[in-house]
Amino acid sequence: MSGFYPLNPNLDQVMQSDVEGVVFDLGFLAHFQISAANAVAADNDAVHATIDCSSDTKVEVTTGFANPAVPRNITATVACDTAANIKAVQVKVTGTNYLDEVITEDLPAFTDNTAGTVIGNKAFKTVTKVEIPAMDGAGVTVTIGFGDKLGLPKKLAHNTVLFAFLNNVKESTPPTVAVSATAIDGNTVDLNSALDGHVVDVYLIV
């Protein structure tokens, strides 16, 4: 976003210090709110229901996605009645970020012979494709969901998040914050408490 309205914190604005010739960059306190309806609990199959994997070829899925209400990190959950058929492969996710830029992420590898969930880091606004390499046998399924990491609509060079509230109660433990000065999808906030369908408020300096 460019221009002067709403207030553009990216303009080079400075203020005086008590020392001649030394100035401060002017920072602003920002309040970012995620509504209760959009701050629902993490869900392991909310983005795509059961995908049948293959034992001999990569599976690509490009339809049937339900995007999170706001940009969030993506998860993949693997299951099989025969655990030995689960292979330590990485699911590749393609979609878009807060700025509608195309992004990809290779999620952490599954654990060999073990059902479970792997958790991504990038904040996806949409998911358009999922690629799952071949497994070690038949009957393996994968679901795609979203986690508790909420995308921030600001590229941050440093963690400037001051505090967060869940359901109008200040979190006693600071949230976990990831930052990137170059990629909007690398900026996320993860509250210490699990999201549960209550409003989230984040205060940060921009």
CATH number of the domain that residue 67 is part of: 2.60.120
Beta strand ranges found along the chain (DSSP E) = 14-16, 23-25, 29-34, 43-52, 59-61, 72-79, 92-96, 102-106, 116-119, 126-132, 141-151, 161-166, 169-170, 176-178, 188-190, 200-205
6 falls within a domain: no
Same domain, 47 and 144: yes
* Shared domain check, 137 and 79: yes
The yes-or-no verdict on residue 3 having pLDDT over 80 is: no
What pTM value is reported for the model?
Answer: 0.93
Helices (H) and strands (E) in the chain, counts: 0, 16
Query: Binning pLDDT at 50, 70 and 90, where does residue 15 land?
Result: confident
Same domain, yes or no: 136 and 71: yes
Chosen domain end from 99, 117, 148: 148
Do 47 and 30 lie in a common domain?
Answer: no
24 and 67 inside one domain: no
Co-location of 75 and 162 in the same domain: no
Does 165 share its domain with 180? yes
Same-domain status, 22 and 47: no
Same domain assignment for residues 59 and 127: yes
**In a domain? residue 70:** yes
pLDDT score for 131 = 99
Task: Print burial letters for 71-110: b (CB count within 10 Å at least 16), e (below 16).
Answer: bbbbbbbbbbeeeebbbebbbbbbbbbbeeeebebebbeb
Asked whether residue 59 falls in the same domain as residue 139, the answer is yes
Residue 2 in this model has a pLDDT that exceeds 80: no
Whether residue 7 is contained in a domain is answered as: no
Which domain, by its residues, includes 95? 43-148
Predicted confidence at residue 13, as pLDDT, reads 85
In this structure, the answer to whether residues 183 and 95 fall within a common structural domain is no
* Residue that terminates a domain, selected from 148, 168, 186: 148
Q: Which two tokens stand for residue 109?
A: 């590898």
pLDDT at 1 over 70: no
In this predicted model, what pLDDT tens digit does every residue of 64-123 receive, in sequence order? 999 999 999 999 999 999 999 999 999 999 999 999 999 999 999 999 999 999 999 999
* Counted domains in the chain: 2
Asked if residue 132 has pLDDT above 80, the reply is: yes
Pair 75, 137 in one domain: yes
Q: Which position has the token pair 């906030």?
A: 189
* Residue 1 forms part of a structural domain: no
Does the pLDDT at position 5 exceed 80?
no
